[in-house]
Amino acid sequence: MTAGIVGLGLIGGSFAKAYAKEGHDVYALDTDRSILEFAKISEDVKEELTKDNAGLCDIILICVYPGAAVRFMKEFGSSIGSRPVVIDCCGTKREVFAEGIKIAHEYGFTYLGGHPMAGTQYSGFRYARANLFHGAPMVLVPEDNNDILLLSRAKDLLSPAGFSGVSNTTAEEHDRVIAFTSQLAHVVSNAYIKSPTAGSHKGFSAGSYKDMTRVAWLNPQMWTELFMDNSDFLLEELDVLIDNLNEYKEALKNKDSETMIRLLTEGKVRKEEVDGR
């Protein structure tokens, strides 16, 4: 198999390492030539992805910001051809997917939206690892959710990454859910660490602090683009959170233990409902 990787950050770099480790050829493209050359020296990348060899790939994984993903498809569209399955791996789907489908129809290549549900608080090729996706789910957004042949083909082409499973949904549903499961968590973590008390946490913090603040260490440019692309759903989740927090705040102000017990119990029961014990 030959895999094309666009962007050698944490996600793209991990895909490159995963495919190379399984013995597949990897062609890659990155705006930073030094990273591309390092990846070639480390034998995670065989050669640069170009318009001349893009059509030789079996799969092309676009692992850059949404706007850059669209620019790549426009620039390389006429060179991709019918062989590769092109999958963008952006964190939001509606805008990039709508543009991607248009470009794919224009140039006649096969395209799906995608989102590997894995990552760390770090970014860049230096933190990429071949097992990043092991045990993680992969979400696909096809134009036709009933295209079983395409979904099966995509699943086979993604197998070297080691995902625990591959599911499919719509761009709308993906963005609605991801606003809660990922984006809201990053906003809350980033805001939480801004407390003046954070500077004196050492010696007083354990797992709760570490869990709550891990994703505060984020890429501001990337997450800003993702937040803005999904601002409607993210605003809805923020409104719900703020309303809930105000209930806790009022219970504290009024020293209302009965209400606080109710609120905490509701949250505990809800956690059990959605995730089990």
The one-letter code for the residue type at 11 is I
pLDDT at 203: 65
CA distance 70 to 68: 5
Model confidence band, residue 23 (pLDDT cutoffs 50, 70, 90):
very high
Which CATH architecture does the domain made up of 2-169 adopt?
A: 3-Layer(aba) Sandwich (3.40)
Q: Average pLDDT for residues 81-85, to the nearest whole number? A: 97
What is the residue-averaged pLDDT of the chain? 95
The one-letter code for the residue type at 156 is D
Q: Average pLDDT for residues 184-206, to the nearest whole number? A: 88
The mean-pLDDT minimum among 20-29, 36-45, 107-116, 194-203 falls in 194-203
Q: How far is CA 161 from CA 35, 131, 147, 197, in A?
A: 21, 7, 22, 41
38: CB partners within 8 A, 6+ apart = 125
CA distance 141 to 111: 9
Same topology between domain 2-169 and domain 174-275: no
pLDDT at 2: 98
Residue with tokens 């390092």: 38
Q: Average pLDDT for residues 117-144, to the nearest whole number? A: 92
110: CB partners within 8 A, 6+ apart = 82, 84, 85, 86, 104, 150
The predicted-structure confidence for 87-121, as pLDDT tens digits, reads as follows 999 999 999 999 999 999 999 999 999 999 998 77
pTM score, two decimals?
0.90
pLDDT at 169: 96
Domain ranges of the chain: 2-169, 174-275
SS3 46: coil
pLDDT at 119: 81
Model confidence band, residue 255 (pLDDT cutoffs 50, 70, 90):
very high
Angle (nearest 5°) at CA 266 between 261 and 259: 30
> For the residues of 240-265, what is the DSSP string, one character each?
HHHHHHHHHHHHHHTT-HHHHHHHHH
DSSP alpha helices (H): ranges in 58-128? 66-80, 94-107
CA distance 216 to 213: 5
pLDDT at 271: 94
The mean-pLDDT minimum among 106-115, 193-202, 233-242 falls in 193-202
CATH of domain 174-275: 1.10.3660.10
pLDDT at 153: 97
Q: How far is CA 237 from CA 106, 186, 233, 234, 250, in A?
A: 36, 12, 6, 5, 20
CA distance 52 to 71: 18
230: CB partners within 8 A, 6+ apart = 92, 94, 175, 178, 179, 183
* Ramachandran sector of residue 199 (left: φ over 0; alpha: ψ -120 to 50; beta: rest): alpha
